[in-house]
Structure 1
């Protein structure tokens, strides 16, 4: 196998000499494991070649084409590969890959201590193929021979990627000869290396005759991929930047073998080289000048080319366009469109726009470098003008803020400077200014006072008619006061008069510094001046009112509470007030009259208060204490304070603590029941005064023909109508309803009187109770009693066609009416008596005899006064209570 390899090398040398300066693409050289300095590796053809270079500094090529180890020390050959470039006469270059392969010999120590050399086991060097080789195919690579072939009849097999694995069928191995063959081109960028496994077997026994041999087939790179740009080519740089300023970096990639010249990229600017530079090795773009001007050109497009092979003639290349955007700086001041301006404005006008000043600026619009800022540099010492910037048009807006006076200045010269919000940068230019001449036009004006405001000092209480000053005006055009009249337009307290012709100010009424119209000692009036043409001017008169001592200190008028303490004398604080100002007021002096009773003493607490001390024990009550209070000037008088001595709780007298105050609604709520009661009394008195005469009944003895005596309560017999004779009139048969309704019947709706003149005489009770609705009175209070007497049927039948007692019809008997009235009157008189008893007892039942009425009534006794003493009596009247008794009293008294 070694002989075959050497033969191939010799063949390469021979082939290399066929074509002048035509080096092979790859070269495998068998070398020792360690290469000593000056060791000759191989030789290449130097005909028609102008020079050689290597990628490995450990090796060099001599002038006669000999490849030698040039390192000063030994180098290791294991896995070492480097390139040799041959320079052609025409300037082109060729590349040759040199692969160094060393011998592998198995050596071992024996037990006798000497070395024994064994035959080299099959171990061929890595095989190399050229990527994308054009063929023809199939193409033999190398023969693989095992040492076991000398003693065995063998055959070979191989497996792995490129054989029976993806990508399959790229390689094959001849079973008998061991020739390794490639069948198609291979792309190194996709498959840089193939690792296959070769095995050798005995043809007879099919047993391995040697260990499996791993083989690497390396794919040598060819420059078949052009470099590519990575990332966007967008860069920005500030205008007017200095030369050499870094703008950006171009980044490129290459898919060819890393570390080889195939990926050595060179960067070139095809356009824009007058303004920009690019580093050929790094791709960094820099400014070539300091004249980049955004206002001339804000965007530059430059063409960048990238080449591999370091830019050699046979290199591959790509081009792209890079965009370089210039950012703005304030290198252009705003410029005026005119050299000067003239404008006119009427006098006395304020807050008026009088001029628009346009400017131009080349800087980037709507940035601080472009937005204008105007300044009035001269002529505005009095502050009559203001200049702003229109945010939409960037113009200067000149305003008159304070009215101008034609008589004082007819022409004003201004100087206005136009600037930017940002300071100037990258330029020697300065801010520009222009003159603006403002002409003030004359206007016929009203009178003008000598000053907008005038101040006079006046003492309060100054006598009326006193002259306090003169306030006059003049005509601005004539500078004269002739013909000007003066009037007041404001004088809240009417204290001042103004002379219409002279403008003299005099006191008209007493000036009081303590008046509500005086604020902090100042009182203002407004005066108007009117000229002959009815034009007016207004001025303000400020009157400073000086204080005089016309107010004495005042003591409080409300009661001062002194809380009573057992075994101790109390005190109260008396605070005085003086409307005057210092030094005409506080500090105050407190004193008691010389003839005081000795019960109190007073001492000064502070400038405005004194302490009133109790000197003797005094009973609770209100005491009037006379005191003398004077101000700092000794002006004062005797005054009285009320001191309330009382027992306190939380500093408040107990009597006051328990007191309550009622508002208007509370008082109204208390008066409303009284008003209603008074109305009720008047109503009852009216009915009492208009009552009818009552029949006086004598209750002595038996009732005779009115009621029959009866001691039974069984159902009675039919009553003979002749026994019941009405005392006044006889009702017509069938007309009992109307007759009864006109009497004292429970259903009577007319007004009645019960016991009009109440006395207690011979067992007769004459009450004093009146009512306007007898039906309500009887039905509400006596239904149960009358039900017991008359069978409980009167309530629903008396108002019908007749009255039915014990199921017996006697409604047509008119004599029944007198019987009913008699009993009703008796009971009513007894009711009136209830209000005459002072000890609030109620009248006892009086026993009466009744005539026999036949069988007893199922309804029970006729009334409470039967001999049997039925429980159905008038005791329920006891529950009516004091209110009913009061009502009876009222009716009785009336």
Structure 2
């Protein structure tokens, strides 16, 4: 019963009350299991007329055809307590009718005859209707409900649910005896449009429920008690001068009444009749109705609107509001000058001066491109004396003179000025405005004026002192003469000129030098000041264009050159020259070698340079090469270029160029000073430990071992004597002479000279051995010729060692000067072999190629040391 009542309520909501042409309910016996397509029953619809009917069921397990036949749409089970659903019938008059179909079955009984069987009427009333906002008195009777069980029992009725025990509480009540449902107060449909409550029937005797519960649906009938309301924005905008029919915006409205009734059918209306705007009555679209909307005449329009329900019926409820339409600006108004013409005046010689303001009026929106003005001088400014700008605050035109006027040349200027906007004109046939401007130039007392302002004078640079090179005068513009004007020199950096005060004559006071630093690009400027009788002044410039003469010869730019040897290949040295004179007194130059003994030659001679290369194999060292360089006119002089031949590292001479790995000859050459020092030490020991009676020798060979006395028993000291050689003070050309296969000493200096010629260690040794002692002299007088010969041999050796040590303590390009004694911690500069010098790589068997270029002096010494 609960399920059947629920479906009944669902369909009754859509139905209105009308006399029935079909039964209110049908009871059909069906099997417990109903297959798809099973014909349940057929409702007779012929009594409802011949108009087209719409039929439907509330249960998706069943479907109804237009002729009223009800069939199962899918497999369905019917419980023992039965099953109920509704059939809704709607005709062409929109009247709704409902048939309640009650399915029952008995166990084991199957019926599929589809015969329509009527049963006794059960309590199943149509939905009740009440009016909203009903007038008193209350309570008011609504409808009677009754149960079929009242035939067999004395029953009473109880209601519950919404409208009774739930909100809205106590809206409805029921007479428990008669089943009359009553409404107790007015109800608002907008708050409660439909209320469904439950009715139960009980036996008065034992309070047993005699029937299944029934759900009662109460529909609240709408009353037009709500006026339509405006919703959404009411502010709109549209361009001025838009075409008629241009959409402005939609006016939205709503109504709280029943949307299925005419109570919510709204019509829109404009209350005034100005024919400026129009509105669609149903959609509410607001549009323009004219093409003459002018923002400058009226920028904002207020449109009064009315919305009325009941489809605009005069009895319908309505609301009013005002829509605001703002017109957007277009540039339909050009700027207009406040006056038809303008006049102004200005002093001559005045510059960067504002002479006039040109105000304009523009009706367009302020501070927009439609309003901001731009000014143009369309006539009269061919000489560029004027400029016109826009004042950003006032929008006025500011006329300025940027180039001064000369009254004597121009007394009046006539201009034509046009004003435009930043934006283009639209929506109008107007043109840009133009106004004439008449400018008068006022005469003022002017100072003198140099004509020309810059005087150019050509003069040779070797003109004598006091030479008149020209005249520079000024003119009074008012009198057009030079009367009463005095001239003074204002600027002369080199003090080369003077100007005669009364006449403006220019004379030289010094020798003009085109190559001086004061001269730029062959020109020299002198500034002259002219002062008239009224103390007014002006300045002018004299530009001396100094003509060149051939007073300079080519000079070598860099006289110290380096000739690099890289990978056993000798490079080239480039000799570059420059001549301070200009063409034709300078390049191209002529290069010639001086007295160079055929060692050098010039190649690849260009305008200002030549390549210097050795003409033969030259050893490393410093060379002076004489060159004669002449300019195009044949003037020049001989100059000396210093060329250094060396081994280079990164295009620079290596500071340790001689510290490379030594070959056999170099190794012997470096060991020679050490051997000499060792021999000197042996001589000292021999001198100190040998008695005078043992100095005499058996022969005078000079190359024998001497036997000396010993200071201790059994000790014997031997000393080797180095071969004597010719010493000339610089060790140049030293040699050992041979006579009959025996070494013979050659004497060139005395004992005293040999003792005092050394320095450093050598000097000390000479002094210690050959001191002027009386004892030694007395003993030397007793020596025979053989002893004197040996003593002289030692003196010669000492002299040789002194000079050799002195030589090794000097710097020279032709020897290995970098292997000098150094203080502790000296690491060398650029040495490839480190701080140890040449001795650090004695174990290396590599050849010493650098010894081949040490020069003839060292080669001679190497040859002496290697002779067998």
Partner of 1:331: 332
1:29·1:99 contact (CA, 8 Å) conserved in 2? Answer: no
Match of 1:100 among 96, 112, 115: 96
- In the TM superposition, 1:189-588 aligns within 5 A as 189-271=190-272, 273-464=274-465, 468-500=469-501, 502-556=503-557, 559-563=560-564, 568-581=569-582, 584-588=585-589
TM-superposed CA distance for 1:445, in Å, is 1.6
Secondary structure of the 2:555 match is: coil
Partner Cα separation in structure 2 for residue 240 and residue 435 of structure 1: 33
Evaluate the alpha carbon distance shift between residue 154 and residue 413 of structure 1 in structure 2; reply closer, same or farther with a 3 A threshold. Answer: same
Please give the alpha-carbon distance, in whole angstroms, between the structure 2 residues aligned to 1:443 and 1:403: 12
Name the residue aligned to 1:591. Answer: 592
Q: Deviations over 1:269-327 (max 9, x none)?
A: 11364322122112222222222222222222222111111111221111112222223
Partners of 2:299 and 2:326 within 8 A in 1: yes
| Distance in 2 between residues matched to 1:57 and 1:415, nearest whole Å | 89
Indicate if the aligned counterparts of 1:239 and 1:329 stay in contact, CA closer than 8 A: yes
Q: Distance in 1 between matches of 2:328 and 2:101?
A: 71
Give yes or no for the alignment of 1:175 onto 2:171: no
Cα distance in 2 between the residues matched to 1:523 and 1:175 = 134
Q: Which residues of structure 1 form unaligned runs of 5+?
A: 1-24, 42-55, 59-72, 85-97, 659-837, 839-894
**Corresponding residue for 1:136?**
137
Give the whole-Å Cα distance in 1 for the aligned partners of 2:123 and 2:644: 137
Call closer, same or farther: CA 1:194–1:401 in 2, change over 3 Å.
same
1:39 aligns with 2:49: yes
Structure 2's unaligned 5+ residue stretches are: 1-14, 23-42, 55-65, 70-85, 659-767, 769-868
**Which whole-Å deviations, capped at 9, do the CAs of 1:707-746 have from their partners, x for residues lacking one?**
xxxxxxxxxxxxxxxxxxxxxxxxxxxxxxxxxxxxxxxx
Alignment of 1:850-865 (within 5 A): none
Alpha carbons 1:154, 1:176 under 8 Å: kept? yes
- TM-superposed deviation, 1:243: 1.9
2:799 match: none
CA 1:104 to 1:488, structure 2 compared with 1: closer, same or farther past 3 Å? Answer: same
Q: Deviations over 1:341-399 (max 9, x none)?
A: 22221111111122222222322233333333222222111111222222333322222
Partner residue in 1 for 2:113? 114
The 1:115/1:244 distance shift into structure 2, 3 A limit, reads closer
CA distance in 1: counterparts of 2:605 and 2:554, whole angstroms = 15
**Partner residue, 1:636:** 636
Question: Post-superposition shift, 1:223?
Answer: 0.9
Question: How many angstroms does 1:426 deviate by?
Answer: 2.2
5 Å matches for 1:637-656?
637-646=637-646, 650-653=650-653
- Deviation, 1:207, is 4.0
Contact 1:106 1:118 in 2 (8 A): no
Quote the residue 1:615 is aligned against: 615
- What is the alpha-carbon distance in structure 1 between the residues aligned to residue 47 and residue 427 of structure 2? 62
Conservation of the 8 A alpha-carbon contact between 2:228 and 2:309:
yes
Q: 1:28 aligns with which of 18, 22, 30?
A: 18
Farther-moved stretch of structure 1 (567-576 vs 323-332): 567-576
1:128-167 matches, cutoff 5 A: 128-167=129-168
Q: Is the 8 A contact 1:372 1:389 kept in 2?
A: yes
Partner SS state of residue 298, structure 2: coil
Say whether the 8 Å CA contact 2:87–2:99 is kept in structure 1. no
What is the rounded CA distance, in whole Å, between the counterparts of 2:400 and 2:53 in structure 1? 83
Q: Is the 8 A contact 1:107 1:118 kept in 2?
A: no
Deviation (angstroms), 1:598: 1.6
Contact 2:16 2:96 in 1 (8 A): no
Whole-angstrom CA distance in 2 between matches of 1:81 and 1:305: 38
The 8 Å contact of residues 245 and 287 in structure 2, kept in 1 or not, is answered as yes
Match of 1:14 in 2: none
CA contact (8 A) 1:556 1:576 kept: yes
CA distance in 2 between counterparts of 1:123 and 1:309 reads: 36
CA distance in 1, matches of 2:553, 2:47: 129
What residue number does 1:809 align with? Answer: none
Cα distance between partner residues in 2 of 1:83 and 1:264 = 23
Alpha-carbon spacing, 1:105–1:345, altered in 2? closer, same or farther (3 Å)? same
Instruction: Give the whole-Å Cα distance in 2 for the aligned partners of 1:414 and 1:37.
Output: 103
Rounded Cα–Cα distance in structure 2 between residues aligned with 1:540 and 1:57: 117
Q: 1:320 to 1:456 in 2, by over 3 A?
A: same
Give the equivalent residue in structure 1 for 2:684.
none
Give, in whole Å, the separation in 1 of the partners of 2:543 and 2:133.
111
> In structure 2, do the counterparts of structure 1 residues 556 and 412 end up closer, same or farther at CA, with 3 Å as the change threshold?
closer
Equivalent pair of 1:588/1:630 in contact (CA under 8 Å): yes
For 1:265 and 1:455, how far apart are their aligned partners in 2?
96
Moved more, 458-467 or 374-383: 458-467
Runs of 4+ that moved beyond 6 A: 33-38, 73-84, 107-110
**Residue 246 of structure 1: CA displacement?**
1.8
Provide, for residues 432-490 of structure 1, a one-character-per-residue CA deviation record: whole Å limited to 9, x for no partner. Answer: 22222111111122222333223344444345566655444332223334444444322
1:579-610 deviation line (CA, Å, top 9, x unaligned): 234564444443313x4212222223764433
Q: 1-side partners of 2:171 and 2:188: how far apart?
A: 12
Give the corresponding residue for 1:782.
none
Find the residue that maps to 1:310 and give its secondary structure.
helix
Partner SS, residue 576 of structure 1: strand
Per the TM alignment, residue 542 of structure 1 is displaced from its structure 2 partner at its CA by: 2.7
Q: CA deviation at 1:257?
A: 1.4
Q: Distance in 1 between matches of 2:394 and 2:426?
A: 24
The answer as to whether partners of 1:305 and 1:319 remain within 8 angstroms in 2 is yes
Cα distance in structure 2, aligned partners of 1:147 and 1:557: 140
Write the distance in 2 (CA, Å) between the matches of 1:488 and 1:615: 61
Distance 1:629 1:80 in 2: 132
CA distance in 1, matches of 2:452, 2:598: 64
Counterparts of 1:655-804 in structure 2, within 5 Å, are none
Name the SS of the counterpart of 2:556 in structure 1: coil
Distance 1:318 1:569, change over 3 A: closer
TM-aligned CA deviation for residue 626 of structure 1: 0.6
- Is contact 1:590–1:603 with CA below 8 Å preserved after alignment? no
User: Which whole-Å CA distance do the structure 2 matches of 1:432 and 1:348 have between them?
Assistant: 31
Separation in 2, partners of 1:583, 1:181: 135
Distance 1:317 1:353 in 2: 66
Count residues with an aligned counterpart.
Answer: 593
- TM-score normalised over the length of structure 1: 0.60
Q: Is the 8 A contact 1:78 1:100 kept in 2?
A: no
Instruction: Report SS of the residue matched to 1:148.
Output: helix
1:627 maps onto 2:627 in alignment: yes
TM-score (norm. length: structure 2): 0.62
